[in-house]
A and B are shown apart, each in its own frame.
Chain A
Amino acid sequence: MELNIFVQHFINALSLGSLYGLVAVGYTMVYGILRLINFAHGDIFMLGAYFVYFATIVYKLPWAVGVVLAIIGTTICGLLVDRVAYKPLREAPRISALISAIGVSFFIENFAVVVFTGMPRPVVQPPILMKPIEFSNGVRLIPLGILVPVVAFLLVGALLWLLYKTKPGLAMRAISFDIETTRMMGVSVNKIIALAFGLGSALAAVAGIMWALRYPRVEPFMGMTPGIKAFIAAVFGGIGSVPGAMIGGLILGFVEIMSVAFFPTLSGYKDAFAFLLLIMILLFRPTGLLGEKLEDKI
């Protein structure tokens, strides 16, 4: 492989990996606090993308306004989902909430089919983000490819600041540690959980918007694959760990791109490589790269 081709692959991998990371961060945050595998995360992500589509294509609003509205709209949807489908199950066995999440996922997908139809829709890509920068050796990079990792890292930073430097963040960590004790400390647990959920949905919206910018097509099932990929990325890094999710996303991106780059004839096995690596990592580090150790207390 020539160097310029390799560099191009590297850039591709970075761009894809940081997108995966971005989806995974929201996923892992909700998990870290509620211990809920939110199977509907990918669908909330899809709603975010649809909101942008409606704002920019249907109602012809400026792009930036559309993005802000989409984030707000998605957050409200996320809070609604929490209120209706998860909150009544806070004290229930975890599997109940999980099945409820699967139900929510089915609901949002099919609701979208009914309301938006199955037809894929386009998304406005601001030209400034899309005009490729070409280097002398033929390597190309679109500005969006830089924007995605930057946004992702900024969000991870902001999230870490929130979790470790602010009062609500402290409350969130306390809830993830022991919800009952936290309640007794006078923290209004439901508000904090709603906050976490809103935050998770906003992150999903950002990821959905970025995803729709990079792969400009929205359709009701667009969240399925990113949802599963985010799950994998989050587990790679240790589910519940915010920096871990970012690292997991990057690893996943690199495995997918590089397996095709080095073994083009095996490109049909691309996803198998990712899963194989995931299982290997779990065998050596049963709770992911940055996951907290689960010691059984005796």
Chain B
Amino acid sequence: MRKFTAALMLVLMLCTAALADDDVIKIGVFNCLTGQNAFGGQLELEGTQLAHSLNPEILGKKVELIIVDNKSDKVEAANAVTRLIENDKVNAIIGTYGSSLAMAGGEVAEKAGVPVIGTSCTNPLVTQDKKFYFRVCFIDPFQGAGAATYAFRNLGLKRAATLVDMSNDYSVGLGKFFRDSYKKMGGQIVASLFYQSGDTDFTAQLTALIDAKPDIVFLPAYFAEGAIVLKQAKELGADFKFIGADAMDNPEIVTLGGDAVEGFMHTTFAYDPSMPEMNETAKAFTEEWNKIHPDKAPNVNCALGYDCYIMLKDAIERAGSAEPAKIRDALETTKDLPTVTGMTTINATHDAEKDMGIVEIRGGKKTFVGIVVPEV
């Protein structure tokens, strides 16, 4: 049996082992195309694909995108990255939505010495101690502080509460950073409540929040959950405001939440189709996106997927080579690169330093309010 196994593996290996081709730059994409996070991963992939179709060649070489699903599952994420590196021999990798998936894949890439650019994995741990992991997004402590700053300074609200998904690292992290910053600025945290991913009924938590009488509630949820929270809050007659984070950034939030999301604010990357002044990259992106997807407005996930490719292209061009190690070195020196989500600079911890925007739902439309500078 086991000899048979070995034989079978050899055959499979021969079938799948790709021949190294010098004229092609291979870029692997691992993202959650199925599973719990499919809604985010699919959007990011579409952004990356758009960037690829607009820039099919780098350094005069054809670029091939190799897309692998990670099923929103850690084991699969590690397998997917291994496969990209070992079987497809990719030069660099883009991905993924979900920090825990990025961590699982990052470990593999780190050993193999292949650079990865994270799309929207905002947890500080993702790039911690990593030489080869970068990301095009800013990180949770920055964003938590941003939301707190906006609530306390710009809106002048003194009593805040948090409603956090206990089983989601993103949500837990943001909640904690929000509370810390808000308290540091002199605000009061009146309640801190939790739920679990997959919950759909938040009436108990919301009723407890109503009882605690905050001015504003920080809700670092995914938009699909967040819209339901907002709906139920309206049904229960909650009169406090809600502020969320970048995972709430999705045009669908309005269709899901209806009039319950009116007046809802969230921090996000400095891009929204409603922005009055866009940079050239963002303009080009929006135009091209609308051509391909006339029925679907782009959101930050699409933009970040796009930006990863742009950042990678920039690095390869500056390096003058598609060798993984050289790409890595070039990525490290990315500075003031115009991307869809504003100017991107990679800092010492490999995180992107960029502006943070605030979006509010006004009249059933996502409206870009402006830039906020967090008091970190």
Contact = CB atoms under 8 A, between A and B. Distances in A.
Q: Do A and B bind each other?
A: yes
Interface of A: 1-2, 5, 8-9, 12-13, 15-16, 110, 113, 117-122, 125, 130, 132, 134, 138, 140, 142, 211, 214-217, 219-222, 224-226, 256-258, 260-261, 264-265, 267-268, 270-271
Given A113-B38, A119-B42, A264 B201 contact: no
Interface stretch (B224-232, B305-313, B359-367): B224-232
B256 A122 contact: yes
A264 B227 contact: no
A15 B224 CA distance: 21
A5 B200 contact: no
A225 B199 contact: yes
Given A134-B237, A216-B256, A221 B204 contact: no
B208 A261 contact: yes
B42 A256 contact: no
A12 B204 contact: yes
Interface string B188-221: 0001111110111101110110110000000000
A260 B236 contact: no
Given A9-B207, A110-B34, A257-B203, A142 B252 contact: no
Nearest to B163: A267
A216 B228 contact: yes
Contacts of A117: 38-39, 42
A225 B228 CA distance: 16
A267 B211 contact: no
A5 B210 contact: yes
B224 to A, nearest CB: 4
Contact of A120 (B192, B195, B256): B256
B278 interface: no
A264 B166 CA distance: 13
B207 A8 contact: yes
A265 B212 CA distance: 12
B274 interface: no
Given A256-B201, A264-B191, A265-B192, 11 more contacts: A8-B207, A118-B34, A119-B42, A120-B252, A120-B256, A140-B237, A257-B201, A261-B207, A264-B208, A267-B195, A267-B208
B94 to A, nearest CB: 19
6 contacts: A110-B34, A117-B42, A120-B256, A122-B255, A132-B236, A215-B200
A248 B260 CA distance: 32
A2 B252 CA distance: 37
User: Chain A: interface secondary structure?
Assistant: helix
B235 interface: yes
Given A5-B211, A119-B42, A120-B39, A267 B205 contact: yes
B36 interface: yes
A117 B193 CA distance: 31
Contacts of B200: 211, 214-215, 217, 222, 225-226
Contacts of A215: 200-201, 228
Interface residues of B, number: 38
A118 B37 CA distance: 8
A96 to B, nearest CB: 23
A2 B211 contact: yes
Closest 5 CB pairs of A and B: A118-B38, A260-B204, A12-B203, A268-B166, A268-B194
A256 B38 contact: no
Given A5-B210, A16-B203, A120-B224, A271 B196 contact: yes
A257 B203 CA distance: 8
Contact of B204 (A1, A119, A257): A257
B165 to A, nearest CB: 10
Given A113-B34, A134-B237, A138-B237, A16 B201 contact: yes
Q: Select the residue from A119, A138, A140, A226 with max chain B CB neighbours within 10 A.
A: A119
A17 to B, nearest CB: 10
A130 B207 contact: no
Given A122-B256, A216-B231, A268-B166, A5 B207 contact: yes
A120 B207 CA distance: 26
B101 to A, nearest CB: 15
Nearest to A224: B198
A216 B294 CA distance: 25
A264 B256 contact: no
A265 B192 CA distance: 7
Interface string B21-36: 0000000000001111
A117 B37 CA distance: 11
Nearest to B236: A140
Interface in B78-126: none
A231 to B, nearest CB: 14
A2 B210 CA distance: 12
Contacts of A8: 207, 210, 236
Nearest to A140: B237
Q: Select the residue from B195, B208, B236 with max chain A CB neighbours within 10 A.
A: B208
A216 B191 CA distance: 27
Contacts of B195: 267, 270
A138 B256 CA distance: 26
Contacts of A130: 235
A180 to B, nearest CB: 39
Contacts of A134: 237
A45 to B, nearest CB: 12
Nearest to A117: B42
B231 to A, nearest CB: 7
A138 B237 CA distance: 8
B196 A270 contact: yes
Contacts of B37: 118
Nearest to A257: B204
A42 B255 CA distance: 24
Contacts of A2: 211
